[in-house]
Structure 1
């Protein structure tokens, strides 16, 4: 069996790793001109299902390394005012597994065949049931299954399910990261909490490593090269719906809304790495009607993009990868045919994927009143 995976995000890479471990040929095609063409290094919290999924997709020999580069999350989820006074609670404390996206992505990339600068322009199901994927600047690729793991603007979804389209909630957010130094020791109670004022919400999350990732890889899995990064604070400011920041930088967009805020909060934004700060929109994709059965399917944000306020997007994509891996292994072993395996994957994925989107949107108004909910 040959599988073409379009998109080198966490879900697509986890699937490719899981298939590789089962002896199934998997090639990854990424539209970016290089693996590190875009910064993708923010802190994530995986739920138990998502962490177990990525663990199961990785070779067992890397499990000690995976365990070393993650930490457990447990926060009170307070609501604070701009001067860091407690004014409420968001609810039960959130638990999960904290991981740096960039570090996890490099682990998942190890040993895979990844073709960069491979923007998909279309595909065709051939008479023999295989799929020919076409790209703008490389030769076509033929496989038994094409998996669109290419995000919210999925080119694969545009052909497979053109009526399934992203919805812009109107909400924008600024995200960045700042080295975690003693200067910010006084912000510890704000990590995992929501700071609200002047129509915006600021969310902070500390990324602390047990062992620096590169050192952990050198000791536990020398064939793996991980980024050389230290502890940091991931911050995200959710702006009022339909606001149009005209600021010259993402940091300025945040700072312009922080007059009178606690000086340590302002300093946190001022000390941020400008190359890892950006302004993004919150768009969601809700799974619609099922498409006709065939050797093409979707995974992750390509079919169920969630609001980041749900904290479940990465976990759901990794769950997809593990489920599809299981189904394809059954097909490879002759326990079901390929189309039956894909159908079983889609049946389950549509159900929990729709619930993940619904759950994330349910939480959005608490951070951005007036958001457009599909």
Structure 2
């Protein structure tokens, strides 16, 4: 069996590692001109289902390394004012496994060949049941299965299920990261909750490494090279609906909305890495009608992109990867035919993927600021 996988995000790379470990041939195609063309390194919180799916796809020899670069966190999810006074709660405290996306991506890339600059232009299902993927600037690739793991703007999805399109929620946010110094450790009450300002909300989260990732890799898995990265605070400022930066940089836009805020909060943004601060929009994709059975399927944000306020996007993509891995192993071992294995995957994925999108959208209003501070809604009670 041979699999062509389009997209080198976490879900696609996790699947590629799982297939590689099972002896299934897999080729990864990425439209970016290089693996490091875009910074993809913010803190993620994995629930047990996501973390166990990740472990299931990784070689066992890397499990000690994975355990060394993640941390367990429990946050109270408080709502605070701009002077860090408690004004409400966002619901029950949340626990999870905290991982850095940049570090995890480098781990998942280890040992894989990724064909970059490979923008998919379409695909053809051949008479023998295989599928041929076509690219803008490289030769076509033929495989038994094509997997679109190419994100919310998925080129595979546009052909497979053109009626499934992203929905723009209108919510925009500025995101960045700042080294976690002793001063910012004092903001721990704010981690995991939100700070309510005039027309904006600021969300903070700490990324603490039990062992510096590069040091951990050198000691536990010398074949793996991880980034030289240290503890930091991930911050995200949610703007009023359809907000924009205008001509400001991400940091300038955040600071322009923080007049009179606590000096530690302003310093957090002032000391952020400008190269890793940007404006993003929140778009969702909800799986609806099943497409016709065949040798093409979707994974992760390509089929069920969630709002980040639900905290389940990466978890669901990793769950997809592990489920599809197990289904394809059954087909490779002759316990199931390929199309039946893909059908089993899609049937389960549609159910939990659709629920993940709905849950993330239900959580979004609690984090979106009221554009009219005179009539701002109070934070919901626990």
Normalised TM-score (structure 2): 0.96
Quote the offset at 1:186 in angstroms. Answer: 2.2
Alignment partner of 1:359: what SS? helix
Give yes or no for contact 2:201–2:369 (8 Å, CA) kept in 1. Answer: no
Give yes or no for contact 2:200–2:370 (8 Å, CA) kept in 1. Answer: no
| Equivalence for 2:380 | none
What is the correspondence of 1:66-215 to structure 2 with a 5 Å cutoff?
Answer: 66-215=66-215
Alpha-carbon distance in structure 2 between the residues aligned to 1:91 and 1:224 = 39
| Equivalence for 1:284 | 284
Alignment partner of 2:20: what SS? helix
Alpha-carbon distance in structure 1 between the residues aligned to 2:345 and 2:36 = 30
Quote the offset at 1:184 in angstroms. Answer: 1.5
Alignment partner of 1:205: what SS? strand
Number of residue pairs aligned between Structure 1 and Structure 2: 371
Per-residue deviation, residues 44-89 of structure 1 (Å, max 9, x unmatched): 0011100000000000000000000000110111110000000111
**Do structure 1's residue 46 and structure 2's residue 15 form an aligned pair?**
no
What is the correspondence of 1:297-312 to structure 2 with a 5 Å cutoff?
Answer: 297-312=297-312
Normalised TM-score (structure 1): 0.98
Alpha-carbon distance in structure 1 between the residues aligned to 2:253 and 2:369 = 19
Give yes or no for contact 2:166–2:283 (8 Å, CA) kept in 1. Answer: yes
Unaligned 5+ residue runs, structure 1? Answer: none
Bigger drift between 178-187 and 338-347 goes to 178-187
Quote the offset at 1:370 in angstroms. Answer: 7.2
**Do structure 1's residue 314 and structure 2's residue 293 form an aligned pair?**
no
| Equivalence for 1:3 | 3
Quote the offset at 1:245 in angstroms. Answer: 2.4
Bigger drift between 168-177 and 238-247 goes to 238-247
Alpha-carbon distance in structure 2 between the residues aligned to 1:123 and 1:325 = 22
Give yes or no for contact 2:238–2:369 (8 Å, CA) kept in 1. Answer: no
Alpha-carbon distance in structure 1 between the residues aligned to 2:366 and 2:188 = 22
Alignment partner of 2:186: what SS? helix
Quote the offset at 1:369 in angstroms. Answer: 5.5
Alignment partner of 1:17: what SS? helix
Alignment partner of 1:199: what SS? coil
Quote the offset at 1:283 in angstroms. Answer: 0.2
Alignment partner of 2:347: what SS? helix
**Do structure 1's residue 229 and structure 2's residue 229 form an aligned pair?**
yes
Alpha-carbon distance in structure 1 between the residues aligned to 2:41 and 2:247 = 23
Per-residue deviation, residues 150-198 of structure 1 (Å, max 9, x unmatched): 0000000000000100000000000000011123232121111210110
What is the correspondence of 1:266-281 to structure 2 with a 5 Å cutoff?
Answer: 266-281=266-281
**Do structure 1's residue 14 and structure 2's residue 18 form an aligned pair?**
no
Per-residue deviation, residues 227-273 of structure 1 (Å, max 9, x unmatched): 00010000001111012321420111111111111010000001000
Quote the offset at 1:30 in angstroms. Answer: 0.4
Alpha-carbon distance in structure 2 between the residues aligned to 1:202 and 1:127 = 54
Spell out structure 1 runs of 4+ moving beyond 6 A: none
Unaligned 5+ residue runs, structure 2? Answer: 372-382
